[in-house]
Amino acid sequence: MNSGMEGASGGALPPSLTEEEAEELRVELTKVEDEIQTLRQVLSAKERHAADIKRQLGISPLSEIKQNITKGWQDVQSSNVYLTASATLEDISRSDAYKKTQETLSQAGQMTSAALSSMGSAISQRFGEMRSSSSFKNLEDKIVNMGKVSFLQHFFYLFYFIF
């Protein structure tokens, strides 16, 4: 047996492999690696040629990305997972629990909107009251007379006295 022989990588050859078989495999490996390198070079040349044709046709990388995204989205929409999920969501949207939740959330939204509207009206009213007060007019005169105070500073002074 050839258990003491070493392979090309410095390791021992498997016991079932003779030196001649190992050499044949090394030659075959070299040929396959050379073919792989040749195929990489051919592929690279083909990719350059395809890019040149696309450039001549006016196909930009951005339009390719858009096209790929569109194609991907179409693939997703036609997939079994998407169709199943879509059908499940449709079933859920028809359920009583969904309708009750939707109604409750709608009412909560309306109540929140009414509360915010009421609060806005109260703030507006309070601002109107403050604006007509002598304190506000005195403050306004002081601010205007300062001369070099920015609009933002005016706003913060007013905001401070309103609230």
Q: Give the pTM.
A: 0.37
What's the token pair of residue 128? 């109107």
Domain boundaries defined on the chain: 1-59, 60-91, 117-163
Question: In this structure, which amino acid lies at residue 24?
Answer: E
Residues contacting 146, CB < 8 A, separation 6+ = none
Reading the chain (163 residues) residue by residue, the pLDDT tens digits are 444 444 445 568 888 889 999 999 999 999 999 999 999 999 999 999 999 998 899 888 888 888 889 999 999 999 999 899 989 988 888 888 888 999 999 999 999 999 999 988 888 888 777 777 787 777 777 766 665 556 666 666 666 666 5
- How many degrees, rounded to 5, is the angle at CA 24 between CA 22 and CA 26? 70
Q: 143 and 157 in contact (C-beta within 8 Å)?
A: yes
Q: 22 and 37 in contact (C-beta within 8 Å)?
A: no
